[in-house]
Structure 1
Amino acid sequence: MSIHAIHSGPMLFLRAAEGGALRLAVTCLRPADSPAPVIRTTDRVPVEALTTRAGTTLWRSEIVVTESHPRYEVDGTAYEVAIPDEGDMTVAFTSCNGQERGDLDRSEEERNLMWARLHRRMGHEPVHLLLHGGDQIYADEVTESHPLSAKWPDEVPEEISAAERHDLRETLANGFFLRYATQRAQAGYGDVVSRVPSLCMWDDHDICDGWGSLPQKAQNSELATILFEAAREAFLLFQFGCRGDEHPEICSGRTSAFSWRMDLPGLSVIAPDLRSTRTKRQVMDAHSWADLDSLLHSTEAQTLLISSVPALGPRLSWVERAMKLTRRMEEYEDDLRDQWQSYAHRDEWCRFLRALMAVHDGEETSLAVLSGEIHLAMRATMKTDTGHMHQLVASGISHPAPPEKMAIALSWLARLGEAPLKGHPIRMHPLPGQTRPYVAQRNYLLLRRREGQWAAVWDLEDSGETDPLPI
């Protein structure tokens, strides 16, 4: 990836939805030696520089758009924003926006095909909110930019001097910055994020593959600390529109994690941070669990909860144990340990499901889980006291689809079912119009509220749009 100053269009971040208005942050990239962008709503608004790296400055403004003036301008270009109300609403959900190797070497047209499709849809269907469910970038190659991290996580230095630490930190921070910035400037992706307010939650590839589930020697190393610091700064800049030293206002508590909640008319969106405090033996620490309990209190009629890894799925703990017995575990250990279904996380998984069911079975409330991570489209349900709680997986929007045989194998495994909570079986089901639970096509998800009822629709690269699934 070449290093050059980058110019990009704007990206919107939702701060609050209040009384027919949206309070937003808007960020833009400009070459460091260029003037700041001119941003207007009804009048020109102030801009501030969040940071400058690799010859590029990231600028931010805080704006308000209203039903009477649902637009803003950047350097004379106008952007329309759909304002949600109690009536019809459309929410888009995406994940896995990249690939592990050579992501930004692909042609923009091929890489961002599904983004372009979503943008074309916006010409006839307003999209009010864009949810990013993890792996917004694939940062796996960032560590290769410095000798001390080039063989991460297999080899980590025993000691890092102060000078080496500074050099490594800057190299990694520039690498993350450039990966986000290059992606931001691409057509398709940029067309969507400039017009639809975003809410984001990271997953492992936003840091590195398997973060939190890596061998202890790597995970507890000084190199890991430096890597996380660089990834965290970029996460705040490009997924929250915040400085690296800011705590996003939508995030709960004042902990080191970034769980958040956003309320819109008749809708709560909640995203627990499943990466910041993860280890091989825990998904979230005690503070993060307390945050989640608070976030789930007094929700709107419909809750969409983002679990970056699927909360409902097949019995992967059997696969994990079998691979360990046959000494074939090492290559896949972090991938399997990442899952809620891992035997190491089973108690937490049960706690998580109980917390979600309490909302779903509440009086006049319902909850659906949105997930990515697996590079396939999938759906599942768990039986509850009031019906079925839905798990909707859309992954990935630009990650290449895996081989069809993977979808076939996982669909076979899905026949086994799972029931971590007695009396509440989990079952996988085909998407509407499909014959197997797992679909190996690039995809994104639409959640539509029409006449007060919510339904899910997948847009599949080859098969097109599914029929609506009531949730």
Structure 2
Amino acid sequence: MSTTPIIGPILFLDDIDDTSIKIAALFIAPRGVSVPQVRVDGASLPAGRLAEFKDATVWRVRFGLPLGGRSEYEWNGTRYPVCCDFSGKPRIAYVSCNGEEIGDLLREGSERNAMWARLRDNHQAQEFALLLHGGDQVYADEVTEVHALSKGWPDAIPEDPSHEELADLRENLREALFERYATLYASPEFAWLAARVPSLMQWDDHDICDGWGSLPSSKTHSGVGQTLFSAARESFLIFQHAAVDGDLPGRFADEDGQHLGWAVRTTGLRIVAPDLRSERSRRAVMGQGGWQMMEEEAKRPAPGHTFLMSSVPLLGPRLSILEALMVMVPSMQKYEDDLRDQWQSRAHRAEWRRMLRLVRSMALPDGQSLTVVSGEIHLATRGSMDLGHGQRMQQLVASGVAHRAPPKAWANLLGALSWLGDSPLRGHPIRIERLPGHASRYVAERNYLMLERKADVWNATWEFEESGTTDPLPL
């Protein structure tokens, strides 16, 4: 048995077909250290190099496990059980906002990862088949401080850096991003769970930098901005999908990776995760590729239940009121980008309506239902939209698993705004609703979400750091 300091295995779900689930196991090893083979059903599978960094190599092993029931693989003398059952009573966990903007790597581990420890214990009591990550898996904001070109990002950046300077910037950003991912993936609470439950991940702004896409185009389209995006995108593929350009899993809609939206389908279950960052600008949430993916998914029959992952909440209060106030109050204008990030921003009103029409068309056919799951706001809440014909679509928000909760005053302000309601689609009002057992519409505690199907009905349960487990909410 090897005793080398290898981080991993970290499991990712590549795809699901009729008979098996396709898995990629990620390992991070010091340079020159070999990764032991993975053994599956008597066969030994060697690891292949995925990426090189200054002092480490990232490795990957791809393998399949039979769909249905419980399976296992072996690595480095340890057997790892994996729940592969999506047909009976599958359980899925959903997390978001795994970090904080400032000083995240300096936080004490047991405090930072308290909810990961609780999720691990929850899995030990009753297995999860899948772990969904809804955005901000890392908080990369501070990586810009590693180089003179990006140290003033986004307010002060050089106008015309040389190719050599940008290349040096990229290498420094790569190493800083690597440090953050390696540190998070080495944490024992997360590592234990990630070796036994395959993950599916969708990125949001902090995986790149705070407000990416909602910042002025003069910043994001600059040489420094594009170098930052390129380094963050490469790291996102390596560490959140165990993939690189030209070798994306089949679940991705665009094999060329111009946008990084994906979908997974199995009997009675579909999970759809559009990319709300790669093509984003101050005037658009998605580009042509993202919209093409969503329109194709809307046309595709999907009997059973669809979970649509929207990294920023699709259903929310009338934030245009806050936007108008911020424009008038100079001291608040620095928060304008945060609100422009949201579907509810005045800048995205037409696009928001377009998305709501699409999800409505996905939820209405007989035998189909759809629930939106979101994170991003560091609070927990839920919402609903009347679809007509006696139906409604629900949205579940769970955020964040490691980010400490904002002041309760912020939750109360959003709750007050939610009383105003909104109807971006005429005749289809949106409401923000209370969680089971909670008096307020927004709950300011660290949290994660659990989704479980029983007797063909999905239920949602929130786990809160202080107030504990909610009663199940039928979907």
Which category of TM-score, normalised to the shorter sequence, fits these structures?
over 0.9
Partner of 2:95: 94
Matched residue of 1:269: which SS?
strand
Instruction: Give me the whole-angstrom Cα distance separating, in 1, the residues matched to 2:184 and 2:15.
Output: 26
Give CA-to-partner distance per residue, 1:424-458, whole Å, 9 cap, x none.
00111111000011000000001110111101000
Instruction: Give me the whole-angstrom Cα distance separating, in 1, the residues matched to 2:70 and 2:413.
Output: 51
1:33 equivalent in alignment to 2:32: yes
Matched residue of 1:367: which SS?
strand
Change (3 A) 1:68 1:133: closer
CA deviation after TM superposition for structure 1 residue 125, in Å:
0.9
Partner of 2:417: 413
Instruction: Give me the whole-angstrom Cα distance separating, in 2, the residues matched to 1:244 and 1:30.
Output: 21
Instruction: Give me the whole-angstrom Cα distance separating, in 2, the residues matched to 1:395 and 1:379.
Output: 12
Instruction: Give me the whole-angstrom Cα distance separating, in 1, the residues matched to 2:304 and 2:193.
Output: 27
Instruction: Give me the whole-angstrom Cα distance separating, in 2, the residues matched to 1:362 and 1:122.
Output: 34
Q: Which moved more, 1:31-40 or 1:136-145?
A: 31-40
Instruction: Give me the whole-angstrom Cα distance separating, in 2, the residues matched to 1:282 and 1:68.
Output: 43
Partner of 2:457: 453
Match of 1:336 among 332, 339, 357: 339
1:157 equivalent in alignment to 2:179: no
Partner of 1:8: 7
CA deviation after TM superposition for structure 1 residue 21, in Å:
2.6
Instruction: Give me the whole-angstrom Cα distance separating, in 2, the residues matched to 1:85 and 1:204.
Output: 31
The answer to whether the Cα contact below 8 Å between 1:11 and 1:194 also exists between their aligned partners in 2 is yes
Partner of 2:275: 273
Equivalent positions of 1:61-140 (< 5 A) are 61-66=61-66, 67=68, 70-140=71-141
Partner of 2:382: 379
Partner of 2:142: 141
1:189 equivalent in alignment to 2:216: no
Q: Which moved more, 1:29-38 or 1:271-280?
A: 29-38
The answer to whether the Cα contact below 8 Å between 1:369 and 1:391 also exists between their aligned partners in 2 is yes
CA deviation after TM superposition for structure 1 residue 116, in Å:
0.8
Q: Which amino acid aligns with 1:258?
A: L
Give CA-to-partner distance per residue, 1:163-203, whole Å, 9 cap, x none.
11111010011111111111101011111111111111100
Partner of 1:326: 329
Instruction: Give me the whole-angstrom Cα distance separating, in 1, the residues matched to 2:69 and 2:468.
Output: 35
Q: Which amino acid aligns with 2:23?
A: L
CA deviation after TM superposition for structure 1 residue 249, in Å:
2.2
Match of 1:390 among 394, 405, 426: 394
Instruction: Give me the whole-angstrom Cα distance separating, in 2, the residues matched to 1:344 and 1:105.
Output: 37
Q: Which amino acid aligns with 1:117?
A: R
CA deviation after TM superposition for structure 1 residue 325, in Å:
2.4
Instruction: Give me the whole-angstrom Cα distance separating, in 2, the residues matched to 1:247 and 1:60.
Output: 13
Instruction: Give me the whole-angstrom Cα distance separating, in 2, the residues matched to 1:303 and 1:69.
Output: 23
Instruction: Give me the whole-angstrom Cα distance separating, in 1, the residues matched to 2:447 and 2:71.
Output: 29
The answer to whether the Cα contact below 8 Å between 1:129 and 1:197 also exists between their aligned partners in 2 is yes
The answer to whether the Cα contact below 8 Å between 2:362 and 2:370 also exists between their aligned partners in 1 is yes
1:293 equivalent in alignment to 2:295: yes
Unaligned runs of 5+ in 1: none
Instruction: Give me the whole-angstrom Cα distance separating, in 2, the residues matched to 1:248 and 1:329.
Output: 42
CA deviation after TM superposition for structure 1 residue 244, in Å:
4.5
1:348 equivalent in alignment to 2:348: no
Equivalent positions of 1:208-227 (< 5 A) are 208-227=209-228
Change (3 A) 1:6 1:143: farther
Give CA-to-partner distance per residue, 1:46-87, whole Å, 9 cap, x none.
210101213111110111122577111121111110012321
1:432 equivalent in alignment to 2:431: no
Instruction: Give me the whole-angstrom Cα distance separating, in 1, the residues matched to 2:70 and 2:45.
Output: 15
Instruction: Give me the whole-angstrom Cα distance separating, in 2, the residues matched to 1:34 and 1:355.
Output: 49
Q: Which amino acid aligns with 1:318?
A: I
Q: Which moved more, 1:357-366 or 1:322-331?
A: 322-331
Unaligned runs of 5+ in 2: none
CA deviation after TM superposition for structure 1 residue 44, in Å:
0.8
1:179 equivalent in alignment to 2:180: yes
The answer to whether the Cα contact below 8 Å between 1:311 and 1:369 also exists between their aligned partners in 2 is yes
Give CA-to-partner distance per residue, 1:124-154, whole Å, 9 cap, x none.
2110111110000000000000011001001
Partner of 2:247: 246
The answer to whether the Cα contact below 8 Å between 2:70 and 2:82 also exists between their aligned partners in 1 is no
Q: Which moved more, 1:135-144 or 1:50-59?
A: 50-59
CA deviation after TM superposition for structure 1 residue 17, in Å:
2.2
Instruction: Give me the whole-angstrom Cα distance separating, in 1, the residues matched to 2:204 and 2:422.
Output: 24
1:360 equivalent in alignment to 2:359: no
Instruction: Give me the whole-angstrom Cα distance separating, in 2, the residues matched to 1:69 and 1:380.
Output: 34
Instruction: Give me the whole-angstrom Cα distance separating, in 1, the residues matched to 2:400 and 2:175.
Output: 26
Instruction: Give me the whole-angstrom Cα distance separating, in 2, the residues matched to 1:41 and 1:368.
Output: 35
Q: Which amino acid aligns with 2:52?
A: T
Change (3 A) 1:167 1:245: farther
Instruction: Figure out how many residues of one structure are paired with residues of the other and give that number.
Output: 467
The answer to whether the Cα contact below 8 Å between 1:445 and 1:456 also exists between their aligned partners in 2 is yes
Give CA-to-partner distance per residue, 1:229-259, whole Å, 9 cap, x none.
1001000001111124533321103451111
Q: Which amino acid aligns with 1:39?
A: V
Report runs of 4+ in structure 1 exceeding 6 Å deviation. none
Instruction: Give me the whole-angstrom Cα distance separating, in 1, the residues matched to 2:174 and 2:190.
Output: 22
CA deviation after TM superposition for structure 1 residue 288, in Å:
1.5
The answer to whether the Cα contact below 8 Å between 2:70 and 2:83 also exists between their aligned partners in 1 is no
Q: Which amino acid aligns with 2:17?
A: E
Match of 2:320 among 298, 307, 317: 317
The TM-score with structure 2 as length reference comes to 0.96
CA deviation after TM superposition for structure 1 residue 7, in Å:
2.7
Matched residue of 2:258: which SS?
coil
Partner of 1:200: 201
Q: Which amino acid aligns with 1:156?
A: I
Change (3 A) 1:20 1:125: farther
The TM-score with structure 1 as length reference comes to 0.97
CA RMSD of aligned residues (A): 1.4
Partner of 2:46: 46
Instruction: Give me the whole-angstrom Cα distance separating, in 2, the residues matched to 1:207 and 1:188.
Output: 24
Q: Which amino acid aligns with 1:44?
A: S
